[in-house]
Structures are given as C-alpha cells and as structure tokens.
Chains A and B, each alone.
Chain A
C-alpha cells in the first residue's frame, strides 16, 4: 500500500521515516521524495497489513498521511491506445496486450506524473 506523507521539518528536523522504521520494525520503501529546508513530501510503500500502524505512528510524529488506494487511472473513453505513456514511465506501468490495447498495472505506479503530461489525449490522471 502506498502512503503520501507530508511533514513540516520544524526546528528539530526529526527523522520521521527513520523513527517509524525503528519503532515499528516495518520496512518502508521510499518511492520518491521531495524534501527542502522547511517541508518534505514522500511517497512510501509499506506492506498492506502494516499500513495503519505506519500511518498512525507517522501522524503521532506530526506528519500528515494519506493512504493512496489508487495509482494512475486511465479514462478508457479518451484513450486511443497510442502508447505514448509506455516509454516515459519509470516503473513499466503501461504495456500493450497482444491486440495492442493498453494495459495498466496500477500497483506499480509511484504517482510521478510523467505519463499524465505525455498523454496526448489527457486520458491519464493521478490522485494527488
């Protein structure tokens, strides 16, 4: 399950993710993160059964956590199966089936948004 974690770094600059890993023993994969001097946003992946535990623990440490149940979503009416998204995706979310119909493996999506820009038909959206 993917979680989007937003936190303000404040004065102490607490290592929130490291702290949660230490306290819970849950192994967290950081899919991508943007951290600057005052705030941070990280997309993390955790095992489904540890999702709420990690969420609560991070919330206790002052982070805002959103559980992302969905990755990129495809509007099948707008999509013409061109495949412009296939090569720009860093996680190989998109592929063609034998009939050249676009297939989406949503679970792999890290919500980077590359495909959203690259789609000529505005058929892709990410829930952020």
Chain B
C-alpha cells in the first residue's frame, strides 16, 4: 500500500482523505496546489478525495514575497 507524495513513498495514508494526508504532512491548504495522478485537484474536493494504493501526488507549497 503505497502513495507517492512529491516522489517519496508514504505508507500510512491508504484509505485516508487528501485533507488528512495534507494535514498529517503539515501543509496549510490556503498556501498549496495539489496535482493527483496528473490532474489538478479542486480545493473543495480535498476532504472528499480518498487515497488509494498507487496514487501519485504533487503538492506545491507557496511562500510569500514578490
């Protein structure tokens, strides 16, 4: 049971929601964008998307300044 997050394998999130994973990894949802299996995920779907074995996530975290 593996979920890939930014290229790293994570074992403990199978069956959990995307929100639970993001919270567990310390992300603040207002500062990020998430691609799941190549598709951007809408922010209001984070709490309903359930993670399955083999899912691949890219999480981009933005910092301030410009």
Indicate whether A and B interact: no
A binding-site residues for B, Cβ under 8 Å: none
